[in-house]
Amino acid sequence: MGHPRKSRKKYDTPSHPWNADRIKAENKLAQKYGLKSKKEIWKAETMVKRYRRDARHLLGMVTEQTIRERQDLINHLVKLGILGENAKLEDVLDLTVEDVLRRRLQTMVHKKGLATTAKGARQYVIHGHIALDEKKIDSPSYLVKRGQEDLIGFYHSSPVEKQYKARTEGKTTEEAN
């Protein structure tokens, strides 16, 4: 189990550190999703690897226990919003890193239009301007579950909310003219 004050890494580093194609792909992902470091990509990759490994293991065996475990894995991924409602175990093998990165709070804030850029969304989250169901969340890597997308908004005492309302109300009056 380990000591509670000495947590383990939640990611695996690449096997070869200087692969140009991998570095270019990671740079594109970091730019697209406004990530702070490659470590965030590696965490998502490790998560996908583990889900795919579990799916391969469960596909290879057919017992009563593995049938329950298959359904648990699929339900878990559907609840996270990574897979669709009527997904099969084979769909887990098609998961990509982007499927996980799309579910991050930082990405959701940007896609929802609360921030103009992905990096700006990250800053709003870290500085405590974003709330999920009226609860302040200051972790940009928080995975938003299915059904929680509509609950994302500004924290009630955030000064950024007033600026956002003024900006969006200005757009609607300009569009009406």
**Whether 90 contacts 105, CB under 8 Å:** no
Q: What is the pLDDT of residue 41?
A: 98
Q: What is the pLDDT of residue 147?
A: 95
Q: What is the pLDDT of residue 144?
A: 98
Whether residue 61 lies inside any domain: the answer is yes
Domain stops at, among 54, 69, 101: 101
Q: What is the pLDDT of residue 1?
A: 61
Q: What is the pLDDT of residue 175?
A: 56
Same domain flag for 86 and 146 = no
Same domain flag for 126 and 172 = yes
Same domain flag for 58 and 123 = no
CA–CA gap between residue 117 and residue 57 (Å, rounded): 40
Measured N-to-C along each axis, helices 38-59 and 20-33 cross at an angle, to the nearest 10 degrees, of 110
Same domain flag for 28 and 86 = yes
Same domain flag for 138 and 164 = yes
Task: Please state the pTM of the whole predicted model.
Answer: 0.89
Number of structural domains (the chain) is 2
Whether residue 9 lies inside any domain: the answer is no
Whether residue 35 lies inside any domain: the answer is yes
Q: What is the pLDDT of residue 142?
A: 98
Residue 150: what are its φ and ψ, rounded to 5°? -75, -15
Same domain flag for 84 and 124 = no
Domain stops at, among 78, 101, 124: 101
CA–CA gap between residue 158 and residue 163 (Å, rounded): 10
pLDDT by residue for the chain (177 residues), tens only, comes to 678 888 889 999 999 999 999 999 999 999 999 999 999 999 999 999 999 999 999 999 999 999 999 999 999 999 999 999 999 999 999 999 999 999 999 999 999 999 999 999 999 999 999 999 999 999 999 999 999 999 999 999 999 988 888 888 877 655 544
- Structural domain of 81: 20-101
Same domain flag for 118 and 148 = yes
Cα first-last separation, the chain: 64
